[in-house]
Structure 1
Amino acid sequence: MRRSSVTSPAGWASKIFAAVAAVALVFTGFKLLPLAIPAATWLLSATYNSFSALQGPPVPVQTADLSGSGPGSLISTTTMPAVTQTWEGRNVRAARVVYRSTSGDTGAPTVVSGSVFTPLGEPPARGWPVVAIGHGTVGIDGPCGPSLSPWLQGALSFVAPLVDRGYAVTVADFEGLGVKGVHPYLDARTAGLNMIDSVRALRHTFPGQVSSTWAAFGHSQGGAAAWAANEQAADYAAEMRFIGAVAAAPAADVAGLVDLAEAGALNNEQRLSMAMIVESAARRHPEIDRDDFRRGAAAEHWAVLTACQGDELLQRSAAAGKLTGDDFVPRTPQAAEALRKLLQQWALPQRALSGPLSVWYGGADGYLDEEWTRAAIAEACAMGGTVTVQLEPDKGHSDVDLGSQLTWLLDRFAGQPVRNDC
C-alpha cells in the first residue's frame, strides 16, 4: 500500500524542480504566457482532446458527496480521462470539480471550477495531506481554465510529482475561468477563497481519504492568491488545519502599473498584463472604460492581447511586438485614478496572516517592481505573523527557486522550525 510521507528532504524537492523546469514559466508567470509555449500548449490540448474523445467521456465520481450547500460544496465532479491518459497523469486519480465559493469583492456566493488529485494507493490513516496550487496567468476568459486542459495549462508537471510523493493536490481555476462568469484578474482575495474552497471540494470528492491539513503554493497571480488564502484561512475555514503558504513573485500590489502607464513607461511584460487588467476590470466595473487605456497597436490588437486560445493566441507574439508604452497612457487623470483605486482595493496585505508565509521574489523582475513586493512584506510583518523572505537580486519574474520553496513548504508538513524574517 502507498503511504503518505510528510518528511521533505531538499533532495526530493530538487527532483520536483527538475520535473517542472520545462513548464514552470508557462504555469506560473506572465513572461512566456503571451508567446510561443502557451500557443503550443493550446494546439497540443486541442489535438489531445480529439484523441481523448475516442477513449470515453468523463463520468461522475461515484464517491463524491454532493449533499452540501456552503462554500466548497460540490455542484458536480467528473473524472478527467484527458489528464489520466497523459504520461504525467498516469499515476494520479483526477477529478474536475464545479463547486461553490465566495467573492472576495462582495462576499456573494459564486460558482467556480477546478481540478483535484490524489494518489492511486491507500491513503494514510489521517488521509492525504493537501497542497493547494495557485496558477499563474492563463487568461481572463472561461475557456482559459486549467481544468479544461489535459496538461492543466502546464500545471500537471507540478501536480504529478507531489501526488507521487503522497500529497493530494488542488488547482482552482479561479472565478470566471473554466465556467461562465467574469474573471476578476488579480483580485487576490477572491482567488484565495477559491483556493481554500478547492480543498473543501477535494475532501467532498473523496470523503474520508483526504486530511484536513493543507498548505498553499503559488506564483505570480497564484502567488498573490496563496498569500490571500493564508490571510483568510483562519476565519474562513477554521475546520481545516492550515500550516503555511509559499508566494513566489506574488502580484501582491500592482497599483504602481497605473503610474507607469501614465508615464508611458510600461515595458513589454507589463503592457500585456495591463491589457488583461483593463479588460477584466471593465467587464465588472462600469467606471472602467477600455478606451481610456488603449490606443494605437493596443486598440488594434486588443482581442489578440487578451486571448488564451485559437488563432488569436497564435498571433499574440507578433501583436505584442508592435506595442509601445504610449499605447496604454490613460486618457485622463480621472480614468487613471479609477483603475488605481480598484487595484489598491485588491492589494495585499489585507489582514494578519493565519500561518507562516514564504515570499520569494527577484530583484530583476521585469513585471513587478522589487519595491512593491518589499513594501507588501513590510506591511504584512507589521500586521503580525511569520514571514520568511528570499530576495534574489539577479533573478527575474519567472526565475523561481522552486527547490528552496518546495523544501520550505514541505517542511511545514514535517513540523520543522520556520525562520521569521520580520
Structure 2
Amino acid sequence: MVTTVLLGAGVLLGGAVAGPAAPASAGEPPACSAPDAAIYRTPDGAGAAPGAVVACRRLDSLPMIGDSVPLTAWKVRYGTTDGRGRPAEVAGTVAVPDAPWTGPGERPVVAFVPGTLGIGTQCAFSKQLAGQYQDAYEGPNLSALLRAGYAVAATDGAGYLDGQVHPYVSGADAGHAVLDMVRAATRVPGSGVGATAPVGIWGYSEGGSGSLWAAQLARSYAPELHVVGAASGGTPADLRAEALHLNGGPFAGFLVDAVIGMAVTHPEMPLTGLLNAQGRKAFTDAESLCAVGTVVRFAGARFEQYTEDRVTLEQLFAMRGPDGTTWGEAVDANRLGTDVGRPGSGARYEIGFPVLQYRGALDEVIPTEVADAEHRSYCAAGVTTRSATLPADHLLGDAAGVGPATAWLADRFAGRPESGTC
C-alpha cells in the first residue's frame, strides 16, 4: 500500500551521497544455512556495517542460469549505506564457478547490477535467480561471466526486503549497494573471493545507472576495492530529460516506478495534495508488478493524469520541499557525469579506472542526446572512456552487449591498456 512516503514523489531518483564508509570489521562469519525468509527480513535495528554479512544461505544451483556452468552460490543479506548516509541492509547473490581459476593472480569478481525488474519485492533478482522466476532476463549475462571463470557479486539493490519499496534508479543507494555487495562476497564462508581480487562493475539500463554510480563512488566509499573497470550500457544519465522523454510513451511505467523511487528517498517533498484517486491506485499497482507487468500496465500514461490539477512534470520540478530544495534540484543532483574527474583532480567523484559506455543505435528509451552528453562529460573530466553503439534498440541492447562487455572486462582483468574514444 502506498503511504505518505510515496506522496512525497517527484520524478526520477534522488538521495544525498554519503561520505566514505568503513568496511565491516573482520569477525566470525555466519553459517550459511539461514532459512530463506531470513535473507529478506528487514533489520531489527539500524542496520549492519557496510559489507557485513548478516545472513547467508548456500545454494547448489541457480535455476535461472541453468546447469551450463557448475557453480556454488549464496544468497546474502548484508550491510550497506542508503542514499542519505544511514545504515541499511540489502540482499544479493554471490556465485562462483566450481572449476578452479586458472588465470593469473586471484579470481576476478564482477559486481553485476541488474536492469529494471519492477519494484515489487517478488521481483528481487536473488529470488528470480534462485527459481522464483517472474520475468528477469539477464541469466545469459551472468552465465557469460561464470563461463569466463569470474566470481559474480550481484546485488538486488535497495528496497527488496520484506515490507520495503525499491527506490528505483536512486543513484547513491544503488552505488553503495553495488560496492558493499563486493565487500560482502569476500566475507561469505567458502566463497574464495579475495579481498584484493580485481573487481569489474557491469550493468545495463537501471543497472547501467547503478554501475556508473558505483564507479563514481568507489574511490571515496570503498577505496580498498581493486576496481579495474566499469561497463555501463543503456544508461539513464540525465533523469530530468529522461522523465520528459518517457512521459506519455510506451515505457511510461519506468517513469511511474521512478516517481515512487523518489518518494521513498524524499518523503519530505510535496505531492500529497496533488494526487488523485487514479494516481494513488497507479502507485499501489506498481508496487505489485515486475518488469513486463509495469510496461504493459502503464503504456502511454502521463504524469498529469495522476494529479487533481493536471500538474505537469515541469511544474512539479519547480515545487519546493521544506528546506527550499526543488524537485528539479533533487533530480539534477543525481545526474551522472557531474563533478567527475581523475584521481587528484579534487572532483567530488574521482575515477581512476577505464569506463565503457554503450547503447543501442535504435534505443527508444534513452535519448541519443542523453547518451552523447554522458560520454562528453566523462571525456571532459579526463576519465578514460570508451563509447560504443550496437545494432539494437533498448530492450535488445542488453543481450547485444553481453559479448562486448565481457570481452572489455576481460581486457581490464588482463591489464591491457585502454585508450578510450574521447
Give distance in 2, aligned partners of 1:344 and 1:85.
36
The alignment's C-alpha RMSD in Å is: 3.3
Give the structure with the higher percent helix: 1
Give distance in 2, aligned partners of 1:372 and 1:399.
19
How much has 1:324 moved relative to structure 2?
5.5
**Paired residue secondary structure (2:333):** helix
**Quick check: 1:245–1:358 contact (8 Å CA) kept in 2?**
yes
Report the count of equivalent residues.
351
* The 10-residue stretch of structure 1 (198-207 or 179-188) with the greater mean CA deviation from structure 2: 179-188
**Quick check: 1:224–1:251 contact (8 Å CA) kept in 2?**
yes
TM-score where L is the length of structure 2: 0.73
Corresponding position of 1:354: 352
Task: After TM superposition, list the pairs within 5 Å mapping 1:395-406 onto structure 2.
Answer: 395-400=392-397, 401-402=400-401, 403-406=403-406
Corresponding position of 2:329: 341
**What is the aligned counterpart of 1:289 among 259, 266, 271?**
271
Give unmatched runs, 5+ long, in structure 1: 1-55, 62-67
1:380 aligns with 2:358: no
State the AA in 2 paired with 1:387: T
Corresponding position of 2:248: 266
State the AA in 2 paired with 1:276: D
TM-score where L is the length of structure 1: 0.73
Residue 294 to residue 247, structure 1, CA distance change in 2 (3 Å): farther
Residue 324 to residue 167, structure 1, CA distance change in 2 (3 Å): same
Corresponding position of 2:215: 230
**Quick check: 2:118–2:257 contact (8 Å CA) kept in 1?**
yes
Corresponding position of 1:175: 158
Give distance in 1, aligned partners of 2:210 and 2:365.
17
**Quick check: 2:198–2:226 contact (8 Å CA) kept in 1?**
yes
How much has 1:240 moved relative to structure 2?
2.1
Corresponding position of 2:96: 118
Task: After TM superposition, list the pairs within 5 Å mapping 1:14-413 onto structure 2.
Answer: 70-80=49-59, 83=62, 87-88=66-67, 91-103=70-82, 105-123=83-101, 126-149=105-128, 150=130, 153-206=136-189, 209-211=192-194, 212-260=197-245, 266-269=248-251, 271-286=252-267, 287-289=269-271, 292=274, 301-308=282-289, 319-321=297-299, 323=301, 327=305, 331=311, 334-337=315-318, 338-350=326-338, 351-392=349-390, 395-400=392-397, 401-402=400-401, 403-413=403-413
**Paired residue secondary structure (1:346):** coil
How much has 1:340 moved relative to structure 2?
2.8
**Paired residue secondary structure (1:242):** strand
How much has 1:117 moved relative to structure 2?
0.6
Identical pairs, percent: 23
How much has 1:138 moved relative to structure 2?
0.8
**Paired residue secondary structure (2:187):** helix
Residue 361 to residue 293, structure 1, CA distance change in 2 (3 Å): farther
Residue 283 to residue 119, structure 1, CA distance change in 2 (3 Å): same
Give distance in 1, aligned partners of 2:266 and 2:68.
39
**Paired residue secondary structure (1:419):** coil
**Quick check: 2:120–2:165 contact (8 Å CA) kept in 1?**
yes
**Quick check: 1:232–1:354 contact (8 Å CA) kept in 2?**
no
Give unmatched runs, 5+ long, in structure 2: 1-33, 40-46, 319-325, 339-348
